[in-house]
Amino acid sequence: MNGSTTTVVSAEKLSLTFETNDGPVHALSEVDLEVKKGEFVSFIGPSGCGKTTFLRVIADLEKPTSGEILVNDMTPEEARKNRAYGYVFQAAGLYPWRTIERNIALPLEIMGYGEAEQKKRIAQTLELVNLSGFEKKFPWQLSGGMQQRASIARALAFDADLLLMDEPFGALDEIVRDHLNEQLLQLWDRTNKTICFVTHSIPEAVYLSTKIVVMSPRPGRIHEVIESTLPRERPLNIRESRVFLEIAHQVREGLRAGHSYDE
């Protein structure tokens, strides 16, 4: 597959400074990163390390102060206007007045898909996140984990090759989280999407990623990029394997060296 060499996101000396009342906050400082097609990249680090900000810059929800960033060889704004990515927020953010199928139809309606095409895609994506049969339910009738799956389905419904996920499972309990992680990997395997995933959890990052970006705060920057040596096929119990623990250790050391554990 020659697609594996295509660059989806490339950032060069990317910086972003927020001007606040307490003076400037350096959310991102000189960030260089390449994300290749089909990769699963996790961003990990403590609060204030700029991981969410970086995701938001890719999504054109924040404008960088300086530096270069290209998404699918376009500026983030062009990429956004081309609907190049699906974004999953920490809160599922489903519209309470829409049923699950209408929620997934939301981006399709906005992007002008036809009635029949919408139906087909709703059925496909619901099947992909194991929510078939819940079409007519309202969000409040679903558990938190199911709501988050529906919000992932919503981001998958249209043809974006890039999936940006900002701590999507952060608010869920660990058992649900394990389950969703497993499903997310299967989904990634089936759809061959590129995924950028922000997380606080070391096991989550190691389990999911092909590449782990360790970030550190003040100023927000990339401390280390760790390429995972885990196989693509990852059952849940891979997390007890030596390789897994070694990578996890490496991530923790990276975080420590980046002063993430300092007060």
Partner 1 sequence: MLARSKTLPLLTVITALIAIWYVAAIWMNSPWQLERYEKAGVDWNFSQLVDDTLNQQRPVLPGAHQVIEEIWKTTVQKKITSKRSLVYHTWITLSATMLGFIFGTLLGIFLAVLIVHNRAVDKSMMPWVIASQTIPILAIAPMIIVVLNAIGISGLLPKAFISTYLSFFPVVVGMVKGLRSPEASQLDLMRTYNASNQQLFWKLRWPSSMPYLFTSLKVAVAISLVGAIVGELPTGAVAGLGARLLAGSYYGQTIQIWSALFAAAALAAILVMLVGVVDRIVMKRMGFVSEKVEA
**Which part of the chain contacts partner 1 (CB under 8 A), choosing from 102-110, 115-123, 203-211, 217-225?**
102-110
Tell me if 118 sits within 8 A of 154, measured CB to CB: no
**Which part of the chain contacts partner 1 (CB under 8 A), choosing from 26-34, 89-97, 120-128, 219-227?**
89-97
Does position 239 interact with partner 1 (CB under 8 A)? The reply is no
Enumerate the H helices of 11-66 as residue ranges. 51-58
Q: Which is nearer to partner 1, 12 or 159 (CB)?
A: 159
- Count interface residues toward partner 1 (CB under 8 A): 26
Q: Which of residues 105-134 bind partner 1 (CB under 8 A)?
A: 106-107, 109-111
Enumerate the H helices of 64-197 as residue ranges. 76-81, 100-110, 115-128, 144-156, 174-191
Does position 91 interact with partner 1 (CB under 8 A)? The reply is yes
Does position 171 interact with partner 1 (CB under 8 A)? The reply is no
Q: Which is nearer to partner 1, 162 or 180 (CB)?
A: 162
Backbone angles phi, psi at 24, to 5 degrees: -70, 140
What whole-number distance in Å separates Cα of residue 11 and Cα of residue 52?
A: 15
Tell me if 260 sits within 8 A of 45, measured CB to CB: yes
Q: Which is nearer to partner 1, 95 or 261 (CB)?
A: 95
Mark 138-157 with x for binding to partner 1 (rule: CB under 8 A) and - for no binding.
Answer: xxx-----------------
H-helix or E-strand spanning residue 51:
helix 51-58
* Chain position carrying tokens 């810059």: 57
The total number of residues shown for the chain amounts to 263
Does position 80 interact with partner 1 (CB under 8 A)? The reply is yes
Tell me if 9 sits within 8 A of 71, measured CB to CB: yes
Footprint on this chain of partner 1 (rule: CB under 8 A): 59-61, 80-81, 83, 85-87, 89-91, 93, 95-99, 106-107, 109-111, 138-140
